[in-house]
């Protein structure tokens, strides 16, 4: 297998396990079974390596989203499916969870920047879909940016933050129901 890929996989493993700060280049080199110098023939520096991996993660999220979207179905159904996929993704994607945790307990600027980028990207995807739904006249014309932001934040609130103040997580059905009954309902043409 090519060395570049091995390095990427080793680094992904390490970032997922220890986070950005606690991952050392020596460690990555050891896991990848290459000399440390080799890493620098493929990547500018640690940050560059990290960005490439974060970018891959974002691409994966987009791919997961696209695999679920069905142009035949309604905006509401698609949105529901995508939200569920995201929920699943967050739990399964160790790297993302680790980064969210790292950002929370120590403010690593590099990590913060990446997470802001992830947020932008997700909101952007949502906005695109809203835009398309408006064009298809599936939903009313609304301020796309704001509604996309609202959907994202509401989703994060129920799926992630809820647990903080109410020990048990909110069951998926409830999350889906409240979205259906409030925000989505209001978007009906």
Interface with DNA (CB under 7 A): 3, 23-26, 33-38, 40-41, 45-47
CA distance 130 to 127: 5
Neighbours of 38 (CB within 10 A): 16
Q: Who contacts 149 (Cβ-Cβ below 8 Å, separation ≥6)?
A: 123
Please say which residue, 59 or 104, places its beta carbon nearer to a copy of itself: 104
**Terminal CA-to-CA distance of the chain, rounded, Å?**
53
Stretch touching a copy of itself by CB under 8 A, among 34-42, 69-77, 80-88, 113-121: 113-121
Compute the distance between CA of residue 72 and CA of residue 81 in angstroms, rounded to an integer: 13
CA distance 71 to 48: 36
- Given the complex with DNA, which of 13 and 90 has the nearer CB atom? 13
- Which residue, 43 or 158, has its beta carbon nearer to a copy of itself? 158
Smallest distance, a copy of itself to C-beta of residue 82, A: 18
* Angle, alpha carbons 133-135-137 (nearest 5°): 70
Least distance between a copy of itself and beta carbon 15 (Å) = 22
Interacting residue with a copy of itself among 1, 37, 71, 105 (CB under 8 A): 105
Please, which residues bridge with residue 139 across strands?
A: 188
Q: How many CB atoms lie within 10 A of CB 182?
A: 10
Q: Tell me the two tokens of residue 37.
A: 């110098």
What residue 59 binds from a copy of itself, DNA, none (CB within 5 to 8 A, per partner kind)? none
Residue 188 has φ and ψ, to the nearest 5°, of -50, 135
The residues near 168 (Cβ < 8 Å, ≥ 6 apart) are none
In the complex with DNA, the residue whose CB is nearer, 36 or 90, is 36
In the bound complex, what is the minimum distance in angstroms from residue 95's beta carbon to a copy of itself?
Answer: 20
Report the residue from 63, 73, 116, 189 that binds a copy of itself according to the rule CB under 8 A: 116
| Residue from 63, 101, 146, 189 binding a copy of itself (CB under 8 A) | 146
Q: Report the interface residues with a copy of itself, using CB under 8 A.
A: 105, 107, 116, 119-120, 140, 142-143, 146-147, 149-150, 153-154, 157-158, 161-162, 164-165, 170, 174, 177-178, 181-187
């Amino acid at each position: 297998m090519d060395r570049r890929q091995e390095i990427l996989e080793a680094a992904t493993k390490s970032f997922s396990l220890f986070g950005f700060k606690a991952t050392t280049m020596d460690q990555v080199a050891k896991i990848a079974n290459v000399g440390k110098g080799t890493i620098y023939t493929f990547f500018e520096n640690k940050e560059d390596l990290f960005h490439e991996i974060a970018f891959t993660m974002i691409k994966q999220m987009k791919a997961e989203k696209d695999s679920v979207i069905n142009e035949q179905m309604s905006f509401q159904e698609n949105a529901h499916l995508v939200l569920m996929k995201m929920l699943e993704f967050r739990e399964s994607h160790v790297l993302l969870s680790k980064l969210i945790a790292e950002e929370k307990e120590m403010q690593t600027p590099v990590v913060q920047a990446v997470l802001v980028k992830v947020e932008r990207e997700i909101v952007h995807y949502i906005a695109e879909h809203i835009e398309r739904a408006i064009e298809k006249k599936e939903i009313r014309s609304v301020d796309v940016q704001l509604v996309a932001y609202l959907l994202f934040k509401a989703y994060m609130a129920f799926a992630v933050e809820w647990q903080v103040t109410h020990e048990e997580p909110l069951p998926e059905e409830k999350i889906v129901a409240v979205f259906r009954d409030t925000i989505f309902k209001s978007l009906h043409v």
